[in-house]
Structure 1
């Protein structure tokens, strides 16, 4: 069993995907599964057609990434595409894309069933589910997947992204492509796998109850306009309907998930903007009645935590073959000038084994307690390793 990566920085869509494919072919036999991460300005029709022609028997799943990606060769800024390939003649893999913006719970059920069917392991639960949905209903998608396979199967992934939050994201596989829907890959690998999902932020003394919520808009905190409360906490004033992604990236809102050794851990929600009604539009859904904690982070934590998250999988101690890492686009943009350092920490944690890391608009992972969740400003990682 082998894992390899490649990338191309060429501007032309056909030339770029051919260059990346040729590099893969030099390293590995025909892949059992191919993952593709690419910039928003590549032509998905060309990428899809070229991959399908070259790998007619290989399932693949592709997802757009924000302003670059990482591999074991380092941080790639801006324009480019990356391939991650696994050759596993004993294992099984399948992908699916379902395009829709209605009843995402039911669409997720269809997507996971289709991916399992495409893997040839009908009736058998996968060891791992990789999720790449378009932003908006990730919590509902997770519930739909779990309704089919149960809550014990690890879901890792990241929401499709573009460069400037303009809806230019895409996902596709060998059968379909969409800007509104769900992409899934199921893994039945012939190796051990380990996971980790962390935020790296700490709660401050400030918190409030979400007393009025509409979808992903938090309208009131403790019966006061949510934006007023948040701006008091962060000690900044924001314009209505203007992005506050960068300003809020070190101070998201946290929801308590549980405790480990008496230490609390959180899933995060990233404020996107102040709404016309003086609420907060978020990148994750908030449940009315939840207590939201004002979280704090530092640039140094954002730079070093990716390596710590991978090390926390424990799989790194067991002869790693390779891995996947999902790193929040908001965090990347906050420390973009130091992302080469992030790549170094990930490489050290991975023992320089092949990995790929897109920058996403929402992260999915499994906490140490076994709960699958969607959050923001998080890092999700999976390590494939030999016994």
Structure 2
């Protein structure tokens, strides 16, 4: 008796500078691996024309759901790390599964846009009234916590969310999103998954607590104004034992020492979500890529280049272990890798790709570099963080036989 897989995943990537030639090249490569996908994800550099990419993808795959998101200075796939202008495609063909995408860009609050996006995505999936197994989230940076709250308000907090905030090359607002329906530089993009196979996921920081902490005593938006009733930068400089220029970009200086907050415990071990310091404000505050609340305790976390390089593989190994029994046979996956981490170890990203490939058992995967990561922790909490890795794996455990 032969067996026909009911589900397949494939990827392709093109480094051609011309948007038209690049997307046509990526599609041509993809067609050699998979036919009639129900879902196509596209990750691309900021210089590419998102409207042209959208139109060509919709013309080529008129029956597929599509979601696109810009990535910082390149993309990584199972073919390796590609720096600079590139377009990567990730496609899923699932005979018994269903998928739906939606992009909402309005003057409403991020909470309301998220509500509308997830409901529209479910409608587009053709599975009204049925909760998805997984939600992929790509929003523009700034209010990701509210976006997660909006999704959970509609569907509850138990459905795992994996995602990454749209990025550009220099944090200058040139990030982009699109679906097969339209494009936007501001909004909430969502894909809901109803796959016919098992899904596992993982969300980790890979940083250690230095046991230096302070209480947030004043915040405004995403700026911590005061820690322990002092200008926040004073406390942070003490932790790092070095001076940081006032009102300057400190992304690189802070990438190994983000601020951590306890999310929960597993076997008495605490796990954290991270906030990456972006810059020092004129009044001595610290602007972040995540929202921190007054009265929260924040810890100075510590990472190393070696941890940044190896942890992507460890996160995928962790996802492989979730709910799995017997021999592993992943069909493919999606990995969300922080742009700040990528920039810190950029000259060794080929090693990161090698670790991910090994952990994925050489199955196809795509990994954009994002300005914020979303995932579900082992304790079941969906959260937004920075300098983190989120991963989802689809496992080959169901076949159609004839």
* TM bucket normalised to smaller: over 0.9
Pairing partner for 2:238 from 223, 232, 243:
232
Cα distance, 1:107 vs structure 2: 1.0
**d(CA) in 1 for partners of 2:345, 2:15:** 22
Cα distance, 1:277 vs structure 2: 1.3
Q: Which residue of 1 aligns with 2:352?
A: 342
Q: Which residue of 2 aligns with 1:185?
A: 191
TM-score (norm 1): 0.99
Pairing partner for 1:152 from 150, 153, 158:
158
1:101 to 1:215, Cα distance in 2 relative to 1, 3 A: farther
Pairing partner for 2:121 from 100, 115, 121:
115
Cα distance, 1:128 vs structure 2: 0.4
Pairing partner for 1:284 from 262, 270, 290:
290
Cα distance, 1:134 vs structure 2: 0.2
Pairing partner for 2:392 from 360, 379, 382:
382
1:65 to 1:261, Cα distance in 2 relative to 1, 3 A: same
**d(CA) in 1 for partners of 2:203, 2:101:** 23
Cα distance, 1:159 vs structure 2: 0.2
Cα distance, 1:15 vs structure 2: 0.6
The structure 1 segments of at least 4 consecutive aligned residues displaced by more than 6 Å after TM superposition are none
Please list, as runs of the form range in 1=range in 2, the aligned pairs for 1:85-104 lying within 5 A after superposition. 85-100=91-106, 102-104=108-110
Structure 2 residue 145 is matched with structure 1 residue 135? no
Whether contact under 8 Å (1:101, 1:180) holds in the other structure is no
TM-score (norm 2): 0.95
Structure 2 residue 231 is matched with structure 1 residue 203? no
**d(CA) in 1 for partners of 2:249, 2:192:** 35
**d(CA) in 2 for partners of 1:180, 1:276:** 27
Q: Which residue of 1 aligns with 2:86?
A: 80
Unpaired runs of at least 5, structure 1: none
**d(CA) in 2 for partners of 1:16, 1:193:** 31
Cα distance, 1:101 vs structure 2: 5.2
Cα distance, 1:263 vs structure 2: 1.0
Q: How many residues get paired? A: 387
Alpha-carbon displacement from aligned partner over 1:359-381 (angstroms, at most 9, x marks no partner): 00000000001100000000000
Structure 2 residue 28 is matched with structure 1 residue 22? yes
**d(CA) in 1 for partners of 2:107, 2:249:** 24
**d(CA) in 2 for partners of 1:199, 1:230:** 20
User: The residue matched to 1:27 in structure 2 has which SS?
Assistant: coil
Worse overlay, 179-188 or 231-240: 231-240
**d(CA) in 1 for partners of 2:246, 2:124:** 46
Cα distance, 1:205 vs structure 2: 2.0
Give the CA RMSD over aligned residues: 0.9
**d(CA) in 2 for partners of 1:188, 1:225:** 48
Worse overlay, 224-233 or 100-109: 100-109
Cα distance, 1:241 vs structure 2: 2.5
**d(CA) in 1 for partners of 2:381, 2:105:** 26
Pairing partner for 1:352 from 362, 371, 389:
362
Whether contact under 8 Å (1:101, 1:181) holds in the other structure is no
